[in-house]
């Protein structure tokens, strides 16, 4: 595990989890995963982990992973740079577009979707789609255990080869651990990814959010009702969120997640990944995540001062 849990962070994180659950009758600690990471003065990752290795249906958090893969593929010559690829990478993060994401997936894997396939043709198609998983398996991250991100992003249910692939092996839907999401953010800003400095800077720019900008209140911008929605003025934010209401499939319904990096002058950068399941958080209490994010940022400041 890339982050070291300290007693101070353990106490603070456990209190935050308890407070969050106390606001939602019927919601318990088993309904969420939380990872908080802060760089100390020595450059080490210190923080808190709650159910960090639990694989969870990730909604649109996978789009941050596809962004990193796409930028690496462009540098390696596995994908061709062109305006539509640039537009799709931007829109899958900026507006969380599923259509843009699926375009990027097709480019990265050399596949298309939906209609039924059989035999060798189907097996070849599956093998190509698994490139999305293999790219991150090769990273050798222990936090990737149990993760898979080879399924396309759907607004409701799946059909044809997409439905068959998602059901392979008794259930092959996308899964991410909160620790894998936190590590992606850590490696992008503090660590090591197979990206040149310009490509790394491009990824950071695409993931940036402006809390004071004209789009901040738009639901598609995924800030105002997520961890960055109630932070004090002057912070910088990079994030990718995910949100599913009812999709027609219980396995992919009622999730709300966020992976975020926050910093401000004279503050150490803070990475947080919160993954939640249940209608209470996903629909009934839209301001719960912003309140939680503000409280987490404030508690981290108290720990820094102490």
pLDDT at 156: 80
CA distance 27 to 33: 12
Q: What share of the chain is helix, strand, coil (3-state, %, to 5)?
A: 50, 15, 35
Residue range of the domain that includes 32:
4-305
Average pLDDT over the chain reads 95
Residue 173's CATH number: 3.40.710.10
Examine the pLDDT at 306 and tell me if it is beyond 80: no
Q: Kindly report the number of other CB atoms within 10 A of residue 14's CB atom.
A: 14
Q: Kindly report the number of other CB atoms within 10 A of residue 96's CB atom.
A: 21
Q: What is the pLDDT of residues 10-69, one digit of tens each?
A: 999 999 999 999 988 788 999 999 999 999 888 899 999 999 999 999 999 999 999 999
pLDDT at 282: 94
Place of tokens 């598609």: 220
Q: What is the pLDDT of residues 201-246, one digit of tens each?
A: 999 999 999 999 999 999 999 999 999 999 999 999 999 999 999 9
* Cβ atoms of residues 240 and 255 within 8 Å: no
Mean pLDDT of 135-145: 97
User: What is the enclosing helix (H) or strand (E) of 120?
Assistant: helix 119-129
pLDDT at 25: 79
pLDDT band for 84, please (50, 70, 90 cuts): very high
Q: What is the pLDDT of residues 235-260, one digit of tens each?
A: 999 999 999 999 888 889 999 999 99
User: What is the enclosing helix (H) or strand (E) of 273?
Assistant: strand 270-277
For residue 26, what are the CA distances in angstroms to 185, 252, 258, 277, 278? Answer: 31, 20, 21, 12, 9
pLDDT at 94: 97
Q: Domains in the chain: how many in total?
A: 1
pLDDT at 135: 98
Examine the pLDDT at 125 and tell me if it is beyond 90: yes
Helix/strand/coil for 288: helix
């Amino acid at each position: 595990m890339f982050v070291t849990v300290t007693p101070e962070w353990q106490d603070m994180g456990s209190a935050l989890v308890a407070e969050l659950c106390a606001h939602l009758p019927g919601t318990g600690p088993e309904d969420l995963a939380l990872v908080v990471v802060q760089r100390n003065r020595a450059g080490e990752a210190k923080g808190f982990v709650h159910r960090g290795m639990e694989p969870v249906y990730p909604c649109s958090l996978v789009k941050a992973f596809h962004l990193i893969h796409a930028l690496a593929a462009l540098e390696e010559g596995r994908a061709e740079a062109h305006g539509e690829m640039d537009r799709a990478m931007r829109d899958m993060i900026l507006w969380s577009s599923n259509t843009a994401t699926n375009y990027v997936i097709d480019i990265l894997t050399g596949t298309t979707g939906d209609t039924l396939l059989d035999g060798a043709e189907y097996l070849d198609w599956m093998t190509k789609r698994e490139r999305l998983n293999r790219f991150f398996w090769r990273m050798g991250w222990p936090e990737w255990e149990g993760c898979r991100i080879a399924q396309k992003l759907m607004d409701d249910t799946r059909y044809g080869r997409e439905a068959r692939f998602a059901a392979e092996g008794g259930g092959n839907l996308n899964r991410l651990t909160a620790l894998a999401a936190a590590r992606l953010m850590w490696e992008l800003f503090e660590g090591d990814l197979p990206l040149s400095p310009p490509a790394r800077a491009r990824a950071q720019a695409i993931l940036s959010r402006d809390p004071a900008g004209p789009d901040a209140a738009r639901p598609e911008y995924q800030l105002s009702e997520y961890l960055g929605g109630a932070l004090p003025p002057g912070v910088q934010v990079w994030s990718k969120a995910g949100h599913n209401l009812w999709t027609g499939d219980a396995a992919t319904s009622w999730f709300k997640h966020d992976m975020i990096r926050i910093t401000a002058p004279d503050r150490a950068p803070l990475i947080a990944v919160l993954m939640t399941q249940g209608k209470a958080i996903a629909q009934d209490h839209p301001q719960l995540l912003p309140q939680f994010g503000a409280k987490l940022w404030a508690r981290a400041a108290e720990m820094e001062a102490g």
